[in-house]
Homo-oligomer: A and B are copies of this chain.
């Protein structure tokens, strides 16, 4: 084996664990696309509940993927900002989106 397959597999499983669940990647993608406020993020992901979005954003803050900025004006403004670490995954998501579009063509439309 040219590379350490077991180490690589562990790193891959770490990543898969991190992106686990239905909503994590759509949320990262939304925030990396410039949506900052809770309502904006919610609207960009049809089907997500407020409760799920709230839970995910808290987890992502703990994992240093998202920074929560509170501006104490009236009314209070809360904005979510992706960290550099999150943005680096955002680029991978963009490639996954492009791959997904191509995959649809190959599988559904029978192109190759």
> Which A residues are closer than 8 A to B by beta carbons?
1-3, 5-6, 8-16, 18, 22, 25-26, 29-30, 33-34, 44-46, 63-64, 85, 88-89, 91-93, 95-104, 106-107, 112
Whether B12 pairs with A25 at a CB distance below 8 angstroms is yes
Interface residues of A: mostly helix, strand, loop or mixed? helix
Residue of B nearest to A105 (CB): B85
Q: Which of B2, B10, B95, B103 contacts A85 (CB 8 A)?
A: B103
19 contacts between A and B (CB under 8 A): A3-B33, A5-B30, A8-B29, A9-B46, A10-B100, A12-B25, A12-B96, A13-B26, A14-B101, A14-B104, A15-B103, A16-B22, A64-B112, A88-B102, A89-B99, A91-B95, A92-B92, A92-B95, A95-B95
Could you say which residues of chain B place their CB within 8 Å of the CB of A3? 33
Do residues B106 and A64 form an inter-chain contact, with CB atoms below 8 A? yes
Chain B residue numbers with a CB within 8 Å of A1 are 33, 44
When chains A and B are docked, how far (Å) is the Cα of A38 from the Cα of B103?
A: 25
In angstroms, Cα B93 to Cα A78, docked, is 34
A92 to B92, CA, bound (A): 7
